[in-house]
Structure 1
Amino acid sequence: MAASCVSTSSSFCLQPQFSINRSLKPNSLSSCSSIQPSNLSINLGSSNRNLKNQGFVVQAAWTRRSRSEAEKRPNKKSWKQRTDMYMRPFQLNVFFSKRFIHAKVMHRGTSKVISVATTNAKDLRNTLPSLIDNEACRVIGRLIAERSKEADVYVVAYEPNKNERIEGRLAIVLDTIKDNGIIFV
């Protein structure tokens, strides 16, 4: 059974098609209110093809661009690259030089430095026996955690550089930060 078109001021007209289960009782056809919702289905035409076999579940967007698309617009960032700084706003940077250990927590959107700890600081240079050993790594991790908590930052992200393994002195710094109450995402 098809519904009639309702005329409007524009020439656009939507005609949904209704189908009724044929197993209705003859005396129930007097009013539309007696039709059960399970006996009524709406057919929207071609838009129904896209929803076939999806079960109305929203699927995740494809974030990787094809090679041809990347060649056309090489500087366009993917969805993950554009939204990552808002999903994980605070980033931890750890740098090991030959003489010192530097660590800082930055806000990715504004590039504001939240907390800094380095063994090159005057108080640490005079108190630590070595500025690059395991004990210095633990001190730097504890200081970063304390200073981040003072700035109300309890969650940070750490992304290792290419071909960088989380082991040795870097693992000691990260484990110390975790042990002092900072969560890594």
Structure 2
Amino acid sequence: MASSSSLAPLSFSLSSELLPSHKPNSLSWSSSFPQLRISASSIPCPSNLSFHKKFVVEAAWTRRSRSEAAKKPNRKSWKQRTDMYLRPFLLNVFFSKRFIHAKVMHRGTSKVISVATTNSRDLRNTLPSLTDNDAARVIGKLIAERSKEADVYAIAYEPGKNERIEGRLGIILDTIQQNGIIFV
């Protein structure tokens, strides 16, 4: 350790000047701050101490390189980790040979917000067919009404791999949208 007599004392002066007619050069948030002037005098620089290395700020890693991603392939991507908070309500539609099922779920809590199925008692006895286009329209209208009752006005639908939005699925999505639900 170096003795205190070998190093000269440091003296810093800090002055802030905020002029009354201060106009920012740009519209950024940093231009609204007053300008600070910092001056240092008699800074010692001994040969065994590299003084400038103490003031270097190293940036933190925010993304992984490809080699790191290859080592841990099961880690979710940024989109997979944040999408459940950006689009929290998800529509699930299932077509069986005899019925149509649809539900809106909250992604974070897995709570079911609204459900509609042609297998329910009231629809099973009133609809002539439980799988045709008219049944799809009824399911879309019920999902939209029940989602509004739960104060959900924006939902997301993610089609599966090689799934086309056409036919009965397209009818359900169009009916939900026509009844005041926004797809995000």
Shorter-chain TM-score tier: 0.5 to 0.7
Q: Summarize deviations over 1:97-155 as a string: whole Å, max 9, x none.
A: 00000000000000000000000001100000000000000000000000000000000
* Pairing 1:1-185 to 2, within 5 Å after superposition: 7=10, 66=66, 68-185=67-184
Structure-1 separation of matches of 2:123 and 2:108: 31
Q: TM-score, normalised by structure 1?
A: 0.67
Structure-2 separation of matches of 1:156 and 1:79: 21
Cα drift, residue 65 of structure 1: 6.4
Structure-1 separation of matches of 2:181 and 2:100: 19
Unaligned runs of 5+ in 2: 1-8, 13-18, 26-34, 38-61
- Cα distance change on mapping 1:172 and 1:69 into 2, 3 Å: same
Secondary structure in 2 matching 1:123: helix
Q: TM-score, normalised by structure 2?
A: 0.67
Cα drift, residue 71 of structure 1: 2.2
2:118 maps to amino acid: T
Structure-1 separation of matches of 2:75 and 2:157: 24
The structure 1 segments of at least 4 consecutive aligned residues displaced by more than 6 Å after TM superposition are none
- Cα distance change on mapping 1:70 and 1:87 into 2, 3 Å: same
CA RMSD between the two structures: 3.8
Identity in percent: 77
Structure-2 separation of matches of 1:65 and 1:95: 38
1:16 corresponds in structure 2 to none
Structure-1 separation of matches of 2:65 and 2:93: 31
Unaligned runs of 5+ in 1: 1-5, 14-32, 43-60
Q: Summarize deviations over 1:27-53 as a string: whole Å, max 9, x none.
A: xxxxxx8xxx98x9x9xxxxxxxxxxx
2:135 maps to amino acid: A
1:119 maps to amino acid: T
